């Protein structure tokens, strides 16, 4: 019986994935509840039920929806733009060795700069609100897409390209049928990383320069030592990250099913 359970959980199916996710969540909740019983200081940790009640209270007050609209609008817009720009830059770098040698070091240097630490400067330049959040998230999220797009295009199997050329395929045909499909799993992996970084970027941006949003709510709750609200919004952000990762993984399976074989 135990062997059958493990074999089921190891399967690469949707039902097995859902069961694994449920087991993980239940395990975390049980561990959280046990640890919370031994932590008497409620400023450090509160039980899951208190967090749930805090989230319900935010929903009833309407604060959850107001913060969700502010965060989702900013992070969604900037993330889509960062993916488009990242893919375009990655394609340009992969198609031109000279451009890669010239701009590559500059992009690597920019990627190494702690963009989040520059959040106060962006707010001073662009003011409070959407613009500063948009630029900050864009700069944080674009680099993983650039790197993985270029790496995926350069990693294309040369034998596949030569085989396409042997059939007199044009450059555009080689790109659309060989190079880009081969790079898709790399690109989607970069998009998954970019989504996680975008969520971090939007929270930091809302810490410094916003009057609404999940980051603003976390900062506000921290200032009043409301640990339940802090953990509640953190869990919501974690759920956004998990859902996004699952969507991109499903997208990768749909666009490049041969990579799963």
Instruction: Return the pLDDT at 195.
Output: 92
Asked if residue 127 is part of any domain, the answer here is: yes
Asked if residue 20 is part of any domain, the answer here is: no
Q: With pLDDT > 90 as the criterion, what percentage of the chain qualifies?
A: 5
Asked if residue 61 is part of any domain, the answer here is: yes
Asked if residue 24 is part of any domain, the answer here is: no
Alpha helices in the chain (DSSP H): 2-9, 14-38, 48-61, 63-95, 97-112, 119-126, 130-154, 158-166, 171-174, 180-209, 214-223, 227-255
Most confident option among 10-14, 132-136, 192-196, 253-257:
192-196
Most confident option among 166-175, 192-201, 250-259:
192-201
Rounded Cα distance between 120 and 130, Å, is 14
In the predicted structure, residue 81 carries a pLDDT above the cut 90: yes
Instruction: Return the pLDDT at 6.
Output: 57
Angle between helices 227-255 and 48-61 (to 10 degrees): 90
Asked if residue 174 is part of any domain, the answer here is: yes
In the predicted structure, residue 103 carries a pLDDT above the cut 80: no
Instruction: Return the pLDDT at 258.
Output: 61
Q: What is the pLDDT of residues 202-212, one digit of tens each?
A: 888 888 767 77
Average pLDDT over every residue of 75-90? 91
Confidence of residue 82 (pLDDT cuts 50, 70, 90): very high
40 vs 50: which has the higher pLDDT: 50
Instruction: Return the pLDDT at 84.
Output: 93
Instruction: Return the pLDDT at 37.
Output: 82
Domain of residue 236 covers: 51-260
Asked if residue 80 is part of any domain, the answer here is: yes
Residue that has been written with the tokens 């919004």 in this structure: 233
Average pLDDT over every residue of 229-252? 87
174 vs 239: which has the higher pLDDT: 239
Asked if residue 224 is part of any domain, the answer here is: yes
Q: What is the CATH number of the domain that holds 177?
A: 1.10.3720.10
* Buried/exposed 120-145: b ≥16 CB within 10 Å, e otherwise: eebbeebeeebebbbbbbbbbbbbbb
CB-CB neighbours of 258 under 10 Å: 8
Total domains in the chain come to 1
**Summary mean pLDDT of the chain:** 81
Asked if residue 15 is part of any domain, the answer here is: no
Predicted model pTM: 0.82
């Amino acid at each position: 019986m135990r062997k059958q359970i493990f074999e089921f959980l190891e399967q690469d199916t949707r039902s097995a994935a859902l069961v694994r996710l449920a087991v993980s969540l239940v395990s975390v909740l049980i561990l959280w509840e046990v640890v919370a019983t031994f932590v008497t200081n409620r400023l450090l940790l509160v039980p899951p039920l208190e967090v749930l009640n805090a989230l319900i209270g935010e929903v009833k007050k309407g604060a959850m929806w107001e913060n969700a609209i502010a965060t989702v609008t900013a992070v969604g817009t900037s993330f889509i733009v960062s993916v488009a720009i990242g893919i375009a830059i990655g394609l340009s770098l992969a198609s031109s060795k000279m451009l890669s040698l010239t701009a590559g070091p500059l992009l690597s240097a920019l990627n190494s700069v702690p963009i989040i630490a520059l959040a106060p400067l962006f707010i001073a330049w662009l003011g409070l609100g959407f613009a500063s959040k948009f630029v900050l998230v864009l700069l944080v999220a674009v680099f993983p897409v650039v790197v993985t797009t270029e790496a995926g295009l350069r990693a294309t199997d040369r034998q596949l390209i030569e085989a396409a050329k042997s059939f007199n395929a044009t450059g555009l045909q080689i790109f659309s049928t060989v190079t880009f499909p081969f790079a898709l799993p790399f690109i989607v992996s970069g998009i998954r990383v970019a989504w996680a970084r975008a969520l971090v970027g939007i929270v930091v941006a809302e810490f410094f320069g916003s009057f609404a949003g999940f980051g603003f709510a976390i900062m506000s709750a921290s200032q009043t030592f409301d640990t339940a609200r802090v953990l509640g919004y953190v869990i919501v952000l974690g759920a956004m990250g998990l859902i996004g990762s699952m969507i991109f993984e499903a997208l990768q399976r749909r666009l490049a099913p041969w990579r799963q074989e």
